[in-house]
Structure 1
């Protein structure tokens, strides 16, 4: 007798696209649900409380646990496997999200209880997103898909879900109200959990040898594994440089998204419609860039692709807003920026996966993601204070210059030469990859 988990996906040397298709589908529905809640949850708080301060507090209570919990659950993903973490956390997110409209309908939803629920959603989303990131490289190997192509497809899914999810969220809120949109969000998380549970073999994340080896039974404790992630990153100057650079650009991106664009839209007279157009144009162009990157990125020089992508994606957005240009010109610049941004994540994602031993992928990715996201909650606060102090145009110019210098100075560092592939293969054979990963892991521990 055999079960579904021992079928094609587990047969060594045989190609199976089912795991990659499954994880990409799960990412699509869960990310779409997240973007729906980006519209529905703030609107729900605004219409029920009328307080912008409470709306910001709710957003903070979701994102702070996301970053913190994601940082500390890397060893958990490595120990019990990304498949189990993904479907269980998606189910937890679905339960917490469904409780919001249910408790409101029963007239039991207070602000403190809402804060607890959104904190639970954020705390579950962090490890859930991390687990899906960790699954992608192994799923690509099982399907014999080049790593850059798999990471590019992942980027396409993320940007497409952002574009579609925001549109769906806005439509649902306008037609049926925010509570219906939040219920759809819960349904998306539940569907993502089911997809991961059914489409991915149980062995995903753990080879048969690892599962049965004595070393696995005597693996280091949780906190020692957590410390090993820091130790590994300290010995990887390239990864540290990328993390610091992305952390600064994420802070600047948060500033322009949460404060600078809304202030510009109001001062220019273009209104809230312009905000939606700018986001949609950039998101759609980003989908196109990610699709092209998925096809051709493995043939290009990585350093050139990343630096060009950041050059297009960063400073031009800030500078065009500071020049008081017509909306059509602004939209064109945002489209070019989105296209350039679509090339960045597939390449950086492939670099991380290649340099991190597979058994440590969860804990190192968790630390890297959390460090690079640490500035996001501060972006809006700093930008708001700066605009109040010196005005919009000087802040936009300063942010554009900071973006340009951060990305280009990082790209000039000597360790960035290590970004290019070694050995001429972007996707090694699974057997040799696993052997190398296990060897590196033993040296690290």
Structure 2
């Protein structure tokens, strides 16, 4: 996320090429996440996750090694980044598909596992970005990628040793790999998702909010930092506060989420975490108000992934977990590049304040519209299903 763009800028000086590299990772990530579903169900998510992360060691390490040897052309960099994205998509989807077997083995509520999963993910993203900045300054962007490659190797060891006793998701109901064609099994996952109104509604809603969130983080927040005069220090602090409070919210959800009414918590959390953060920036609120909104909004956001993840995994039959979760995740990522593009174009045309407020209002509509859809009230009924 940090080292590769800085490496491209340092070696080419081209913002356009930097954008091309970002797209080269994201497009195969989404596509391979979609098509990996049947393989995850047939082979088992543990095997797919370990294989993808093992190959990622090679793909990521090849970038700094070829750079040091003077053999890293821009085309080769694009190919390696695309390979890394193609491996990350199925690898991430497979890890998510392991959650039901973790729940079964640990004999704990689904919210406890999805809450801890979300807390770890958010904390690791926050600390990883900070560590990346330090490593790039100390080692340079190329050598920092060697540490990134090593982290995949460590992850393989931890995952492999820590999940040896887990039952493979799908053993009870999945057909043999050669019994059905790959495309047929892929269509089965899509057919289930399409016919489950609640899951499809969640998938569409998350895709739209992720698009708006990327416009917020990639465009609106940096523009605010520059225009307000608060600068990069305040920008980094706000992101860190948001991430840290979100991780704390996820931990609270892990502890008590199974006792809370899911639908009401979903609505309140989105009301708190959505429009207010856009409004304080658009209206030029004082620094202390902005910081407070990020503390409260970040904490509220931590409840969302545990709830939505629990609902999703409880409604999907074990034999379809890999396919359906991969499709939902791919949909969540699919509109994200459009968010940064639209955010930039709208800010250029309408100005920062109008674009930020409009984005916040759209976010409000997208996240509260489910209150009018009876299907979303099935969130509470999904518990324990």
Q: Is the structural similarity TM-score above 0.5? A: yes
Pairwise mapping of residues 160-239 of structure 1 onto structure 2 (< 5 A)? 160-201=123-164, 204-206=167-169, 215-216=175-176, 219-239=179-199
Q: Secondary structure at the match of 2:303?
A: helix
Map Cα deviations across residues 168-197 of structure 1 (whole Å, 9 max, x no partner). 011111222212221111011111122222
Indicate yes or no: 2:272 matched with 1:312: yes
- Corresponding residue of 1:23: none
- Corresponding residue of 1:126: 89
Contact 1:82–1:204 under 8 Å retained in 2: no
Structure 1 alignment gaps of length 5 or more: 1-37, 429-445
Indicate yes or no: 2:322 matched with 1:359: no
Aligned match for 1:252, one of 202, 212, 219: 212
Contact 2:172–2:319 under 8 Å retained in 1: no
Q: Aligned-pair distance for 1:284?
A: 0.4
**Structure 2 CA distance, aligned partners of 1:346 and 1:378?**
26
**Structure 2 CA distance, aligned partners of 1:411 and 1:227?**
30
Q: Secondary structure at the match of 1:312?
A: helix
Over 3 Å counting, the alpha-carbon distance change for 1:217 and 1:265 in structure 2 is closer
**Structure 2 CA distance, aligned partners of 1:279 and 1:287?**
12
Q: Aligned-pair distance for 1:105?
A: 0.5
Q: Secondary structure at the match of 1:325?
A: coil
Over 3 Å counting, the alpha-carbon distance change for 1:147 and 1:113 in structure 2 is same
- Corresponding residue of 1:340: 300
Q: Secondary structure at the match of 2:285?
A: coil
- Corresponding residue of 2:246: 286
Pairwise mapping of residues 109-148 of structure 1 onto structure 2 (< 5 A)? 109-148=72-111
Q: Aligned-pair distance for 1:203?
A: 6.3
Contact 1:71–1:366 under 8 Å retained in 2: yes
Count of residue pairs the alignment pairs up? 385
Q: Aligned-pair distance for 1:395?
A: 0.4
**Structure 2 CA distance, aligned partners of 1:297 and 1:331?**
26
Q: Aligned-pair distance for 1:209?
A: 5.8
Map Cα deviations across residues 370-402 of structure 1 (whole Å, 9 max, x no partner). 112211010011111111111111100110100
- Corresponding residue of 2:43: 80
Q: Secondary structure at the match of 1:201?
A: coil
- Corresponding residue of 1:26: none
Q: Secondary structure at the match of 2:167?
A: coil
Contact 2:101–2:166 under 8 Å retained in 1: no
Q: Secondary structure at the match of 1:421?
A: helix
**Structure 2 CA distance, aligned partners of 1:232 and 1:415?**
15
**Structure 1 CA distance, aligned partners of 2:355 and 2:252?**
33
- Corresponding residue of 1:43: 6
**Structure 2 CA distance, aligned partners of 1:198 and 1:404?**
43
**Structure 2 CA distance, aligned partners of 1:323 and 1:276?**
20
Contact 1:313–1:341 under 8 Å retained in 2: yes
Runs of 4+ in 1 over 4 A off after TM superposition: 206-211
- Corresponding residue of 1:99: 62
**Structure 2 CA distance, aligned partners of 1:208 and 1:70?**
21
Aligned match for 1:69, one of 25, 32, 39: 32
Map Cα deviations across residues 78-107 of structure 1 (whole Å, 9 max, x no partner). 011101100110011111110111001000
TM-score for both structures, normalised by structure 1: 0.84
Q: Aligned-pair distance for 1:206?
A: 4.7
Indicate yes or no: 2:373 matched with 1:410: no
Q: Secondary structure at the match of 2:98?
A: helix
**Structure 1 CA distance, aligned partners of 2:287 and 2:150?**
37
Q: Aligned-pair distance for 1:259?
A: 0.7
**Structure 2 CA distance, aligned partners of 1:383 and 1:147?**
36
Q: Aligned-pair distance for 1:118?
A: 0.6
What is the aligned-residue RMSD (CA, Å)?
1.6
- Corresponding residue of 1:379: 339
Structure 2 alignment gaps of length 5 or more: none
